[in-house]
Structure 1
């Protein structure tokens, strides 16, 4: 008998707000967090817009001395995890610490730290490199620091699957609880990639939009899309075994019922033709959740605003859902948040469960010119009230990683 798993807490730091409630309100209002890049000199790059986190103060959560020993991606993870655990009203104490775990991933980890320390090394030699260089840079340090600060001593792991990281992390943590290895897991993704080399790399592989207008730069499924907008932040959820949650009177956002994870075995950056790998991930998640395709009311799409992703993801949805594809609603919240890479799946899982809980679908903004290859219902430009009994969230990453989570209204 599979143990049932529910979401009891959410926390996020995003370009559209530094907590989950604010981010959700802004997304429903169609407010974008994208602007002309301020952290780097936009004149140095082919792309000039970014979805930056604004007015974030790590010292609300961690003392300055300790914060200086962490990369920015760990700051975002810690703040989001603290908020999620507080939202869940989950007390981690000696009697339950061993049964509460952490599974937070990052696509690239501490790139900012790496760049800064390499510059120091070049100018001043190895003796001036920070002793905290390695623990600041490695991608597993977000999950490590969250575990240390919260005292969670259960399963502690880190998934690195590029842009599928956040979704894989929540899915992997879901399976930990389902099989009985933990009673609760703090899970999601964190990323701080707005750095010189990350930005240069994505410009070099022509993945980023060259549209200089922040208002229209991210336009998933629109005919005139030309690349994604780089974003940053973190999205963390508290997953809990149902009986454990009920026993302590926790509020329940939604139930996690299915998880699908596949590989394209095709190309380092391009999705498999027709979105074949993504289609399999969706099918597996739906079947794992004991659902049929017709049960799904809403999809939070990967929807990056790149030519191939949006076209192939649409093809994959048609492959999985058949006639039902035209009846379900799909949106890409990346139209407002930009693409948070390894954190995207964490933030989008939160948006998906809030859509179920509140009965409202977030829009895909900047949808102006329909693309004949993308001809489904993308909830264009305005949020929409709807009964959402079941929904899925998709994430697809470089390396051919595909991940899907299936959620259901808790009953």
Structure 2
């Protein structure tokens, strides 16, 4: 069967640096950092004091009051971003509803709801917890609510692959359209777990930085990096079969041309030190798109600011690209957004597409101390103009999940 081409025609985002996709991208171009002291609760009794929270988001301004009450924060983000993506694309399902689907990831779902209802159960008895607890907390509900909101009646799914989930969602949606199962897909990821339990859990496993200086917290590829900063938010893309998009005169941001997904099969949380799992995902994405390594000019890295991830991802890039690794740019926008877990790959797919559209490579900000293990061009501190035809966006998740998507600049 002939492979169909897939375009990005709509975008929506709620991030620590902006409440829309354009606002978030402008902040990234400007090098603005979303890391700040935690405000969702009082972290005085915990070691970690910083997070990359979404700021100024008032659910009732984006959703009806009753709707907002019956959605967890992660779902509120996702539905808001999906509405933006739909409006941006100028699309409504209509009679095509069964050819339109939703794939939206969440790594943890409604953890804050679980924490609150657990406290309520302890205090009042377990049969007194909210009847909305389960249907608001489960991870797939963001995808389900988006389908309800849009009327999309095709496949509706939720990859729960930790920090790779957003990229898996976009990649799976790309293949679903390319292989003829749908014409339009809303895809991406969402997360909202800046909570005492999540912060405590990540702290106990020594994954988070404990610095209280926002400028030295999320510092991917820097020798002084000491863990990631937990972020929250959502990114949703509208993908469309190319001829379908052209027929209705849709604007096109970029084209998705390849996808690779692998598993390290190695450790619960640590990646393979040689980065071989991530390398295979990148190589598969290139193979899938029929693109040579030398044609890639930019990689939006997973780049979490942990020692193992950044060193392993650098090794993976060298393994795939050889001598060309030193000639391409690889930056981490997590230096600005923190790590949004299941939303990260989707938001970074948006940033990668906009990098191609605008001919601009975002920086890895707050970079000070070079690390010999991370010796590639990380676009330190200041973004730059660059005309790039192909770019990769990488995500690596606990459990050994690796995902990489290959995007091509849209020439019209």
Quickly name the TM-score band, shorter chain normalised.
over 0.9
Show CA shifts across 1:206-254 (max 9, x none). Answer: 1000111012211000010000000000001000000000000000000
- How far apart, CA to CA, are the structure 2 residues paired with 1:388 and 1:42? 43
2:45 equivalent in structure 1: 44
**Secondary structure in 1 matching 2:252:** coil
**Secondary structure in 2 matching 1:96:** helix
**Secondary structure in 2 matching 1:101:** strand
Show CA shifts across 1:248-301 (max 9, x none). Answer: 000000000000000000000000121110000000001101101001000000
Show CA shifts across 1:354-388 (max 9, x none). Answer: 00000000000011010011100000000100001
Matched residue count: 410
**How many angstroms does 1:127 deviate by?**
3.1
2:324 equivalent in structure 1: 324
Show CA shifts across 1:383-406 (max 9, x none). Answer: 100001000000000000000000
**How many angstroms does 1:76 deviate by?**
0.5
**How many angstroms does 1:40 deviate by?**
2.2
Q: Is the 8 A contact 1:139 1:158 kept in 2?
A: yes
Structure 2: which 5+ runs fail to align?
Answer: none
- How far apart, CA to CA, are the structure 1 residues paired with 2:6 and 2:323? 30
**Secondary structure in 2 matching 1:186:** strand
2:335 equivalent in structure 1: 335
1:132 equivalent in structure 2: 132
2:381 equivalent in structure 1: 381
- Whether 2:86 is the aligned partner of 1:85: answer yes
- How far apart, CA to CA, are the structure 2 residues paired with 1:319 and 1:179? 30
Q: Is the 8 A contact 2:92 2:150 kept in 1?
A: no
1:139-288 equivalences in 2 (<5 Å): 139-288=139-288
Q: Is the 8 A contact 2:163 2:341 kept in 1?
A: yes
**How many angstroms does 1:196 deviate by?**
1.3
Q: Is the 8 A contact 1:35 1:215 kept in 2?
A: no
Q: Is the 8 A contact 2:394 2:404 kept in 1?
A: yes
**Secondary structure in 2 matching 1:238:** strand
Show CA shifts across 1:173-200 (max 9, x none). Answer: 1111011111000000000010111111
Show CA shifts across 1:128-169 (max 9, x none). Answer: 211111101110000000000111111111100000000000
2:7 equivalent in structure 1: 6
2:115 equivalent in structure 1: 115
More deviation in 32-41 or 138-147?
Answer: 32-41
- How far apart, CA to CA, are the structure 2 residues paired with 1:61 and 1:31? 24
Structure 1: which 5+ runs fail to align?
Answer: none
Show CA shifts across 1:313-354 (max 9, x none). Answer: 000000000000000001000000000000000100000000
**Secondary structure in 1 matching 2:199:** helix
**Secondary structure in 1 matching 2:214:** coil
TM-score (norm 1): 0.99
- How far apart, CA to CA, are the structure 2 residues paired with 1:208 and 1:323? 33
**How many angstroms does 1:92 deviate by?**
1.7
TM-score (norm 2): 0.99
**How many angstroms does 1:52 deviate by?**
0.4
**Secondary structure in 2 matching 1:215:** helix
- Whether 2:307 is the aligned partner of 1:307: answer yes
1:62 equivalent in structure 2: 63
- Whether 2:46 is the aligned partner of 1:28: answer no
- How far apart, CA to CA, are the structure 1 residues paired with 2:61 and 2:210? 36
- How far apart, CA to CA, are the structure 2 residues paired with 1:408 and 1:62? 34
- Give the superposed CA RMSD: 0.7
